[in-house]
Structure 1
């Protein structure tokens, strides 16, 4: 007999009546509570006009035409995928393209900061501006659907290979910035495909291989709603027109055929108006996926047929109701209308040939107005975590020594050109990141670094196509020219010679990650040895890490010769230019960590590692999310683990003090434990977004440098984690001045998911409120009583 934990049985109990006569435990494999039929597109007020137009157009389509637009075709352009079209009605089909961090595999576009860099900025306006300008590039190239932003993985697995594509390990921070990203891209006229829905937290066993199924993320109902679903709700509330279902299974049912997730939660509970697209190759059944709520299969479909003919046959033989196919087509077409793509939109994939290096008419998508936000975005995602002895900012050093494989641009012997940047080298003419691994040879275990030069992005489908790379060493040379500084450099040796007369030693390393593989660890011995060797001879060693995820530093962080440390994340094409402005004090650091940096790998949930296929589930890998809500800083709080650097931590070139906390419950807003009747809007019931309380605090700049501070508000919800982020704001504070920070607390911010009533409820009573500079530096404390 196969044993199941009590909460997994609870999840299956909703379908108990349907399976009362089933006694074989094997029946439960591939099962999740069934929810049928798939609900039609709601057509709520914000989507009413687009819905009406879509209904009118789809009503003119034959069943064959409706089925045809639900499947992907081999693109004739550089689009990642294309749907079928209806030429008879002048409906062109949709071009869908990677990535959430910038347009991939084409020319004349920008390489934007990656998701993790946006998270480290904690800047809502910057997230919006990045999205607006990035979305403009997608539109100029005729891309209808941008495949992003990424809100899953959420970072449950510290070694996750795609954590860099996501925004933060905290659902509130992730959701807030994802919502701004959706708003910006879609205001540019491009549909966002928010991904990967849901529980996609590891690359290991993400896809079926032989007889082994994809890993099953086993998540209880409360955790699903309060943690992993939270940022998706924010994205839907912002108007997201597409959701991409993930490769993994959830509670033993593939995500792209999981009726509970798609029909029950996404399309009913969250009022989703758009269409669901499979991740590329993520469809595993035909009829079942259609009935469960999948609307588009990419990049093609052997299950629905190359032109959707199997869907047609299913309708004709009575296996599938025609209204389901009609709804699939309606949702697809409605998104096209909702983004205004029916008027003045470029031809799909224009200027994006399938092989961009072959002759083609160039389409210049780089808007000059983007320059400001490219540089600002790069600046604000850098996080300074150590700065002693006034090591930074640099003051026109006489001699500066630069070490480490990550300092220079990719070597000239590698092919240059506008394509995916994978692991510090230009990636040219390969089908996937697995075809070329630009890693340093001879490292123990699986390579963890990209040794062929600096990285501005991680690897895989989330990698973007920069117009150029400003590498750290390039920018340092320009500054040295201005200051009359002499430079010494050695990028190759793990134990380089240090000139004892040098003013400072800059060491550059990276931590690489890519789609398709989880990381082998959170530090590597080669890079750590390099840092320690330099610090042994240099009393002013400054370390910069371009990290595609969490990177541990405890092998050397307490060395007094290491005076400054920067988590530089993945800044995009203006990486070096931004870093030099920070190193020399032309701008102050202002980013903060969107995750927790531990002292040891073992401090993370499950040791930070992905779940493996192990007996008795060798052929059906299981990943039990038994920690519930307690990931990242919530886990550290629960287990009383002291981190090296806590979530929300980051230094600037000044100091701040906090005072004058005020907490006010709003009059006239119901704070009853059960909310009043409320319509369902995109993202859930409307009353969840009612502001029920407001909090203010004063932040004073007690130093002599004008700088932005990120004030953070945490709430202790009775019965839950000690504290959870429920507000943040980033505002520039003049030297010697002060600013009042304001936070709105919505009903959803204070509610918990009740599994019995299947709704959000307020606990009532007292909520602890904290405001401060990080999750463990919260000088202001008060109470909100509801």
Structure 2
């Protein structure tokens, strides 16, 4: 059938767009009545899909910006004993030191252990730190500068607390399913948008001397069934974590794509995830770690496990895992797949010296890459208590030492200003009828409704890990959150705004006060005032549940009974503004169509400055310029993908048979009209696009990589006398602490050896240190450098045709033209500030990889012979300009 474009109507009152209808930019394309999936995606995402083995684990070369860091690391590793090398790779155990993860060091050489600490929104489990807007808010800004500044500010706070590795930013979950619990930690379900902001966040963090950790690699797209003990606690009987079954093309074009940007940005570490990928544990999947990450992408840093995600010792190490976290197998059990078992494995030859040396060099090189040795102090906090004094080793208690554990160092600087700026810059204006916004501060009566407008009466940090939904929603729950030094509620900020001008203001933040809500809404309507209704929807990590939402949301509806409040207010108040704080998409079509709801804003998870940020937008100090980083569908089934909520086998199987067609790509592919499309957002002014031009650059032809590496280097000598590796006589052994030493000179009887039979599995070629072949797409620090060559410059003029200065996000999409390609994919964006009546020229660079598909058979990126068309406009479905690339 032939689809025609819908009309985008504008009501020009005070230069405000009235109603938005999703506009298809492809009126000349014929869409088939039956949409067939990509057969390669279907065949490559079957139940019990397997992952191909790839060995040996590539040794780092120290290429490019890593050269000096590798030189320093090698100089140290040449001096280390086996135990000292092992110490660098192994966490000390859960709650045994100050940080959520802490490795051993080399005291005799002045090498401290690494302090690894959550989160991607601030420093977790401590005080006097900032609560930053979530990754999804950074995504909504579409602003690379703000992503960098946010990362830099978080990096400074981590550094000043003594953190050497910030566990963030996040690109997995990418956002395959809108209900997935941790989508909000990342930026967007679009890999290009995520990749650009991911990279800038990494650069910002690492500019401070703190290492970034890109996570969770890869396929970590739901919380249900990510861990066996956690799932059993919720009554699900599984034997292994769930398996994300993904075909090779989808893996490269969607889920690995942003990690390539991370490697290109010089990320020091990558965290592998809990899930299986094609029925192989992500943290011992040799195809993902050895082949894709370390060989294809040329990653020079180190791979760490998620906490308790290490599934074995020798097999995981040979598959590319460099560091185990938190060190123990299960929290607090005192056992480790690494530690003394890694020492045993090196001595008995099941882990070759070159592999241990490569692990140690990669870990130290990440430290030197960011100058962390010169920048980061010792930790001045302890994660396990807010008290000033306490047990030094919290897990085993005060018997093993007490002292000053928290110095309560205030590291916030003036980051509240940046947090407020990002909060406002990430607020998306979805609907604005009759010039409702910005608000007139002289309104006769301003009324605020909804629990989400108010404060948690028990305090902003009263719920452990923020695992509740009480009061206004500023962040999701789990390890991705941080404590808030304060939380400015919308109620407080808007009240201050109104009463500072001696206006009239009332609020009701009890969603059950139906009689009072109705009476106040009616009175506001009678005096031609304004009603502001606040609502939210929450989610988080799977170790906690809120109202039986086991991390993942059960649905896409609003929480706290907000629908009843909205219905109550809008039934009598014909000037109702709806504000949504949510972790992602919610079902709001009924509110878009409701004539009494004159404006809708999505404000995401804005962090500690929530109230001030939304007030800046509501009262016009900030002209909204944000765009949706995801699609708002009419109903849950519109997305075509979902979380698996009940196990379909003892090892749950998540079959990603939709391939690359997630979020807007899926809506376009299936001809489903969204409520608000990806990339959409209104402004208090209007913009016009014109003058699209293409400049083709003279670039050398792409050359696939060929050849092989040299032999694996080793550093120092190993003493194979087992008596040299037993516990020193003068050491005080902390119970359940993970040490690198042996407790017996008999390797078969030493610590743990009999309990780790799976360590005896040695894959073919995994011990071969002679060389490894270069895949065609490979190259140091991001893959084949030809993929990053800029082939075209696309330029467009953007004019502010309204009366108010404003930000516009110009967006470029490409149609790759193949029968199983999305209609369009994002391949460029720039946020620009434009004065009224002025025109700004925006330039988009198009790289070779932006125009290429992954060819599984060739194992390389190939630009197909299909025609490539570029579209430019203000959203994924409002693309007025196009040009065919030649």
Listed as ranges, the gaps of 5+ residues in structure 2 are 1-37, 230-236, 390-405, 543-550, 707-775
Alpha-carbon distance between aligned partners in 2 of 1:611 and 1:692, rounded to the nearest angstrom? 44
Q: Is 1:84 the counterpart of 2:129 in the alignment?
A: no
Equivalent pairs counted in the alignment come to 732
Question: Contact 2:345/2:351 (CA < 8 Å) preserved in 1?
Answer: yes
Question: For each residue in 1:514-546, what CA deviation from the matched residue of structure 2 results, as whole angstroms up to 9, or x when unmatched?
Answer: 111210100148221210111001000001010
Q: Could you say which residue in structure 2 is the equivalent of 1:161? A: 181
Question: For each residue in 1:726-778, what CA deviation from the matched residue of structure 2 results, as whole angstroms up to 9, or x when unmatched?
Answer: 00000001011111111000011011111111011112453111000000000
Question: For each residue in 1:497-524, what CA deviation from the matched residue of structure 2 results, as whole angstroms up to 9, or x when unmatched?
Answer: 2223251100001101111121010014
Pairs within 5 Å for 1:310-321: 310-321=341-352
Q: Secondary structure of 1:658's match?
A: strand
Alpha-carbon distance between aligned partners in 1 of 2:586 and 2:41, rounded to the nearest angstrom? 33
Question: For each residue in 1:522-571, what CA deviation from the matched residue of structure 2 results, as whole angstroms up to 9, or x when unmatched?
Answer: 01482212101110010000010100111110233211000000101011
Alpha-carbon distance between aligned partners in 2 of 1:76 and 1:216, rounded to the nearest angstrom? 32
Alpha-carbon distance between aligned partners in 2 of 1:588 and 1:651, rounded to the nearest angstrom? 10
Pairs within 5 Å for 1:213-232: 213-232=240-259
Question: For each residue in 1:278-325, what CA deviation from the matched residue of structure 2 results, as whole angstroms up to 9, or x when unmatched?
Answer: 000101111111111111111123498387111111122222212111
Question: Contact 1:121/1:377 (CA < 8 Å) preserved in 2?
Answer: yes
Q: Secondary structure of 2:200's match?
A: helix
Question: Contact 2:163/2:376 (CA < 8 Å) preserved in 1?
Answer: no
Deviation for aligned residue 1:609: 3.4
Alpha-carbon distance between aligned partners in 2 of 1:644 and 1:6, rounded to the nearest angstrom? 30
Q: Could you say which residue in structure 1 is the equivalent of 2:638? A: 603
Alpha-carbon distance between aligned partners in 1 of 2:822 and 2:848, rounded to the nearest angstrom? 18
Alpha-carbon distance between aligned partners in 2 of 1:9 and 1:524, rounded to the nearest angstrom? 34
Alpha-carbon distance between aligned partners in 1 of 2:357 and 2:221, rounded to the nearest angstrom? 33
Q: Could you say which residue in structure 1 is the equivalent of 2:326? A: 299
**1:491 counterpart (504, 509, 533):** 509
Question: For each residue in 1:665-714, what CA deviation from the matched residue of structure 2 results, as whole angstroms up to 9, or x when unmatched?
Answer: 112x0356979999712111111111000100001111001001000000
When structure 1 is superposed on structure 2, of 519-528 and 319-328 the one drifting more is: 519-528
**1:560 counterpart (595, 606, 628):** 595
Alpha-carbon distance between aligned partners in 1 of 2:777 and 2:297, rounded to the nearest angstrom? 13
**1:57 counterpart (76, 81, 88):** 76
**1:37 counterpart (50, 56, 61):** 56
Alpha-carbon distance between aligned partners in 2 of 1:291 and 1:120, rounded to the nearest angstrom? 40
**1:522 counterpart (524, 546, 556):** 556
Alpha-carbon distance between aligned partners in 2 of 1:55 and 1:707, rounded to the nearest angstrom? 52
Alpha-carbon distance between aligned partners in 1 of 2:834 and 2:68, rounded to the nearest angstrom? 43
Q: Secondary structure of 1:566's match?
A: strand
Alpha-carbon distance between aligned partners in 1 of 2:268 and 2:702, rounded to the nearest angstrom? 33
Alpha-carbon distance between aligned partners in 1 of 2:337 and 2:48, rounded to the nearest angstrom? 29
CA gap 1:675/1:361 in 2 versus in 1, 3 angstroms: closer
Pairs within 5 Å for 1:29-428: 31-74=50-93, 75=95, 77-209=97-229, 211-302=238-329, 305=336, 308-347=339-378, 349-352=379-382, 354-359=384-389, 360-368=406-414, 370-396=415-441, 397-411=443-457, 414=458, 416=459, 425-427=460-462
Question: Contact 1:97/1:143 (CA < 8 Å) preserved in 2?
Answer: yes
Q: Secondary structure of 2:251's match?
A: helix
Q: Secondary structure of 1:563's match?
A: strand
CA gap 1:675/1:183 in 2 versus in 1, 3 angstroms: same
**2:787 counterpart (688, 709, 713):** 688
Alpha-carbon distance between aligned partners in 1 of 2:88 and 2:97, rounded to the nearest angstrom? 17
Q: Could you say which residue in structure 1 is the equivalent of 2:500? A: 482
| TM-score with structure 2 setting the length | 0.80
Q: Is 1:743 the counterpart of 2:844 in the alignment?
A: yes
Q: Is 1:613 the counterpart of 2:613 in the alignment?
A: no
Q: Could you say which residue in structure 2 is the equivalent of 1:548? A: 583
Larger Rg: 2
Question: Contact 2:324/2:338 (CA < 8 Å) preserved in 1?
Answer: no
Q: Secondary structure of 2:591's match?
A: coil
Q: Is 1:511 the counterpart of 2:537 in the alignment?
A: yes
Question: Contact 1:191/1:339 (CA < 8 Å) preserved in 2?
Answer: yes
Question: Contact 2:296/2:778 (CA < 8 Å) preserved in 1?
Answer: no
Quote the RMSD (CA, aligned, Å).
2.1
Q: Could you say which residue in structure 1 is the equivalent of 2:474? A: 456
Alpha-carbon distance between aligned partners in 2 of 1:678 and 1:227, rounded to the nearest angstrom? 16
Alpha-carbon distance between aligned partners in 1 of 2:41 and 2:251, rounded to the nearest angstrom? 12
**2:488 counterpart (470, 474, 484):** 470
Alpha-carbon distance between aligned partners in 2 of 1:756 and 1:666, rounded to the nearest angstrom? 29
Deviation for aligned residue 1:7: 5.2
Deviation for aligned residue 1:29: 5.7
Q: Is 1:715 the counterpart of 2:749 in the alignment?
A: no
Question: Contact 2:284/2:319 (CA < 8 Å) preserved in 1?
Answer: yes
Q: Could you say which residue in structure 2 is the equivalent of 1:501? A: 527
Question: For each residue in 1:416-441, what CA deviation from the matched residue of structure 2 results, as whole angstroms up to 9, or x when unmatched?
Answer: 4xxxxxxxx4236x4x56xxx53xxx
Alpha-carbon distance between aligned partners in 2 of 1:344 and 1:127, rounded to the nearest angstrom? 22
| TM-score with structure 1 setting the length | 0.90
CA gap 1:710/1:675 in 2 versus in 1, 3 angstroms: farther
